[in-house]
Amino acid sequence: MTNHAPPQAAILRAQIRLVHEHAALGQSVTIALGLLVAAVLWTTDAARPLLVWLAMLAAACALRIWLGARFLRRDAAGLVRSYGAELLQLRIAVVLSGAAWGAIVFWHYPAGDAAGEVFLSVATMGMASGAVSMLANAPGVYPFYALAMAFPFVLGLLGLGSPRHALLAPSALLYAFALIVVARKYQHHVTETLELRFDNEALIAELTASREQALAAKHEAESANEAKGAFLADMSHEFRTPLNGILALSQLAKDANPVAQGDFVARIAEAASHLHHIVDDILDFSRIEAGRMQIDEAPFDLQEVLNGVAAAVAPIAALRSLAFTVDVGSGVPPRLVGDAVRLRQILINLAGNGVKFTDRGGVTIAVRALAAPDAEHARLAFEVRDTGIGLTRDQVGELFRPFSQAASSTARRIGGTGLGLVISRRLAELMGGDIAVRSAPGAGSTFEVVVPFGIAPAVAPAETAAPAAPRSLTGLHVLVAEDDGINRQLVEQFLVKAGASVVLVENGEAAVSAARTQRFDAVLMDVHMPVLDGLAATRLLRADPRTAGVPVLGVTGRVFEDDVRACLAAGMNDHVAKPVRLDELFEKLCDWTRCRPAAAPVTPGVLPERVAGAVVDLGRALARLDGDRELLAETLRMFRLQERHTPQHIREALAAGDVDRAHRLAHTLGSLAAAIEAEALTLACRQVEAELWTKRAADEARLAELERLHAEVFAALTRPAAPGADWGIMRA
């Protein structure tokens, strides 16, 4: 439950307000009673002092009334800056008021008139008693009033010199102190009452807000359920359509002649690609919603991105007899720094939508440069214009809601998850930009994407690397652990066609057994298998010195960030999502094996001659970076700057018992060593990393080997190059 303790300023404000709200009534009664006292005590000789006393009393009462009205007016207007200052003013005013009443004994005291004395005493006691309910509301106000009234009265009585008045003086003082005690208790109860009032008000406000939040959450949940229900219905249709096509075409292909079979296979591939696109949309959306979508910053060629968009969209536009053009304005930098993959995804989504919802005319992508903050950055606007059906204002408002499309009838006719635009906008926002829409029914639509980029240095034509040849897996010996027979067969065929030799097993237990009896360059490990799952099997491989250094790639249909982390935590080197894309699979196999044939297990201090001789192969590193010499130079600079003392830091971490830090240091050093093609150092880092992961300790011989290779790499990198020398192999 929330703590509803009210602020002290609010309580003090309410207390002062209670006093001032009764000021006019209280002071009117005081003046009336003063007039009555003057009338009772009036004599010819007493007329002048009584009039002076009445004037003093009236002035004090007028001050109280003015202060009260002023406070109430300023408080209502929110002009009161300090309630402490207001309390001080109130105390001064009541001191003047009390002293004015008590001073009557100095102006005229009916010492020889017993009836007059009794009347004056009763009137004074009544004033003191009646003020309790009005002045005790605020802290410290009533004691000032009572004492200011009592002390002049007591002093006056003592000044009369008679024994009777000498006894009456302390009695009056005792009565004043008794009233002060009563007033303090009264003030305590008032404070408690105000605290309860504020507590109740806060509780009521919280309950009201909670009720409103609950109602809003209920409406939101109902809307979400409706959206999810509609989404599931749409997804059922979207999944069933290509699946039904795949099943039907597969049946037809069985009995068809070879020519027809080729057509059926092409159509099956098209349906599967559509299905894969739907799954990708859903996964991208889930990553974005979970805050796990990462934006990469790297140099790229804008024209290559636009060419890729055209290659994906133009054939579809041609099939619908639509024109597709790309127009790049003047002043647009040719090379940028940003996420080329996500930019391409956004433009393909928008241009693809334009093609889907356009029957005549065409789709144009226009790129223009906007004002940028400085010379090192650019702001580009990508306008995707179509001549399609257009949108109403209400439809534009619904465009970027998940699982929605502009019109359900059109959606049913054309298809789609309704996630493409949502993903595009979220990606644009992650890149620091946004998407705006201009449209009208029947007049087409324009989607404008504005995104900031860095400007990358231009690459001279002579320095541009030639396109990389397709990587071969020739000579690789790969273990495939997969419980599904069809998937095993497919992966085997793909790997064998690429030149690899393959061993197939059906579960994790068989994978561990095979890896312990044969030498493999890599293991493709399905995560979910019977007998022993892929995660447990990988842990066993990492715990065995014979298999601790073998690269293991997890293969699973679960591709959320938590699933990837679980694979890495189990000791897997990387993760490949199902359905498997050959380019991704081959690229990751080559990354972790360097596409080398299986070799004898590496022991500390002994490395294959091919690895030991070539300390750093900058030629291969440059090829991996598509010929980007500046990027390679920056990578080398970072390596020299960050990793100069890493072996020493690893030893220090181990000496301090911080194995996790030592593991991270070895992993980072290995990753950067791989980036500059320091293959022997990379392998040594992976061995130390595997030992730290499985044994929580590192063998001294492996650490010494890592230090030796680290020193050789730094010696090679710091040795002056010969004049005119190009990037190439650096040897110790």
Torsion of CA 211, 216, 219, 223, to 10 degrees: -160
Q: At 104, list the tokens.
A: 């009557």
* Contact yes or no for 688/551 (Cβ under 8 A): no
What is the rounded CA–CA span in Å between residue 582 and residue 472? 12
> Within 13 A of 575's CA, how many CA atoms are on the CB side?
19
Are 571 and 542 a contacting pair, CB within 8 Å? yes
Which helix (H) or strand (E) element contains residue 673?
helix 659-675
- Tokens 């007049």 belong to 443
Please give the CATH number for the structural domain made up of 298-458: 3.30.565.10
- pLDDT for the residue 549: 87
Which CATH number does 609-731 carry? 1.20.120
pTM above 0.75, yes or no: no
Given this model, what pLDDT does residue 202 score?
79
Q: What is residue 359's three-state secondary structure?
A: coil
Domain 477-593 in this protein, CATH class: alpha beta
3 state SS for 141-206: HHHHHHHHHHHHHHHHHHHHCCHHHHHHHHHHHHHHHHHHHHHHHHHHHHHHHHHHHHHHHHHHHH
Res 552: pLDDT: 94
CA distances from 426 to 305, 355, 356, 423 (A): 19, 22, 21, 5
Q: Return phi, psi of residue 526, to 5°.
A: -65, 140
Mean pLDDT by 10 residues, the chain (732 residues): 60 85 86 86 79 88 91 87 87 88 78 74 82 83 86 78 78 84 84 81 83 84 70 61 69 72 69 67 66 79 88 79 88 91 88 86 92 88 90 76 49 50 85 89 89 82 44 82 77 82 92 91 90 92 90 80 82 82 81 58 34 62 64 74 88 89 80 76 80 80 90 79 44 46
